[in-house]
Amino acid sequence: MYKYLFKTRLLVKQFYNRNDGAHKLDHADQVYGNMQKLIILDNVEIDPKLVILSAYFHDIKVYKSRKYHEILAADFMKKNRYLFDVSDSDFQLVVTSILEHRSRVENRTSMLSHLLSSGDSLPISNINNIITRMYNYQKTYMGDNDIDKIIKNIYRHLMDKFSSNGYKKYDSLMRKYFDHDIHRLQKICDNITDQEIKTIILNK
């Protein structure tokens, strides 16, 4: 399976190179690793090819549209069906998992979708990593020229998405194994200050 993984990473690298600092190839690597951990935790039996395809193709079109990247990624796969040596039913599972991986989705239709969504959300136990990733995203578009504005944007995003009243909906698989971490993260975000965010950024 290593050869299949190597080949897939080589294929998607060109897309991730165009993405913002928070959605480079190392992010797909992390998602893949997280999915592998969840497979062990939940004792899941699944074709490893599908896990590789789901993990590495889910964010290939972030550079085109952050808002609609999952739709664009799914469209790319459908238009280039010949690239994927899996059955039609398995191909559809991968495409659907990509369409369902965003945090706003409430009901996912397969274990692959649960794995991808949860893998994309981990790790959530380290606020420093989350803020650093947000900083890398902001820096792609704003540079380092206006650190105060970047901090305000990060603070607003933490409140909007990760706080107790945030819009992020955690997958049931995440809730099963990481519910304590989820509540801990929400509490941290509820009480975090601009100065704490700045300290994390400056010490990253």
The dihedral sign for the CA sequence 167, 41, 108, 129: positive
Q: In this structure, which amino acid lies at residue 201?
A: I
Q: Where are the domains of the chain?
A: 2-121, 127-202
Tens digit of each residue's pLDDT (9 = 90 or more) over 72-104:
999 999 999 999 999 999 999 999 999 999 988
For domain 2-121, give the CATH number: 1.10.3210.10
The pLDDT assigned to 70 comes to: 98
Task: Count, in order, helices (H) and strands (E) of the chain.
Answer: 10, 0
> pTM of the full predicted structure?
0.91
pLDDT at 204 over 70: no
| Residue carrying the six token digits 């998602």 | 31
